[in-house]
A = this chain, B = another copy of it.
Amino acid sequence: MVPQLTRAAAPEPTHSAGSGRTAQPATIASIAAEAGVSVPTVSKVLNGRPDVAPATRSRIEALLEQHRYRRRKSRGAGGQRLLDLAFHELDSAWSIEIIRGVEEAAAAAGVGVVLSELGGKHRPHQEWLDEILARRPLGVLFVLSSLDATQRHQLESRSIPFVVLDTAGEPPDDIPTVGSNNWSGGLSATRHLLGLGHRRVAVISGPPDVLCSRARVDGYRSAHDEAGVPIDPALTRYGDFYFDGGYVHGKALLTLRDRPTAIFAGSDMQALGVLRAARELGLRVPEDLSVVGYDNLPLTEWLGTALTTVNQPLHDMARTATQMLIDLADGTALPSRRIDLATTLVIRESTAPPSR
């Protein structure tokens, strides 16, 4: 999973000269006057309507940002309470855990959920954002997707709050975020393997430019440090979080002359790839190779060899993020803008002491 959130520039702390530093908040009329356009034109921009010339639109957006204009909150078009849930990409079992958590919290609050996928892109395109501006949901929940500074200001000026459900991004401190403790997850998985007696433990993590990948690898390193076991750099791999990432790196690791006796994978999907690679090489799990996954998707319990894995509470993370968003929409102060839920190790059948 590849969360990235462009660090937004902090909004200007003072009003511009144009607003005269008065306590008077900007209005649609004052913005229109300053931009030299009609009030309806400013409204169109606020509502994400496409029929405004790009240059005019940019000028108005810049003034909205400069004056820190904040639209009055709306209950959305038609009085309906809807929130938007935006996935970078919908992939099988992982996404559904999050969807279920969001549905549960939203339904309890009488809020409908509009689901969208950003087509594999980490940053929504403007047409998508325009639909949001037009629909005026009570808020937007981003999963592993990002907003640039301009987009962030667009939501802020329309008083549409957002929360990032982000197992490892590095968002600006003032963006509400729900994640989990990846470092602890990496630590407990690796401690388990070292505790079983393994001394050649490999790690396959996600892309190196993603914080959660690095946090898990750092947990892996700390476990080695505390056990006094040296790390072989050849046993640390970064790939994507899908099946292929585990399969390709698993094959490479398991065909090393001095192959690892245990592999900690960055996701359950990667672990499936490792299991597949092991099988093709005639290695039995856990007799010849121990494998630990990450996420604890339901299917890991059902595999022929039930998978030992780090439980990442995706469902609870999603419920928490949704409740946070609803609280923001209702004007309730958040006790904390950054919540990391605990990860726990679930020991099943894919791990055992090394046989050699």
Asked if A100 is at the interface of the complex by the 8 Å CB criterion, the answer is yes
- Inter-chain CA distance A275–B303, complex, in Å, is 8
- Inter-chain CA distance A82–B77, complex, in Å, is 12
By size class, the interface of chain A is: 35 or more
As for how many copies of this chain the complex holds, the number is 2
For A82, the closest partner residue in chain B by CB is B114
Please encode chain A, from 66 to 98, with 1 for each CB lying within 8 Å of some chain B CB and 0 for all others: 000000000011111010010000111101110
Nearest chain B CB to A309 CB, angstrom units: 15
- Inter-chain CA distance A136–B80, complex, in Å, is 10
Nearest chain B CB to A112 CB, angstrom units: 5
- Inter-chain CA distance A87–B85, complex, in Å, is 17
Report chain B residues within 8 Å CB of A302: 243, 269, 272-273, 276
- Inter-chain CA distance A100–B79, complex, in Å, is 28
Contact call A79/B77, Cβ cutoff below 8 A: yes
- Inter-chain CA distance A77–B81, complex, in Å, is 12
Q: Which residues of A contact B (CB under 8 A)?
A: 76-80, 82, 85, 90-93, 95-97, 99-100, 103, 107, 110, 112-117, 119, 131, 134-136, 243, 269, 272-273, 275-276, 279, 297-299, 302-305
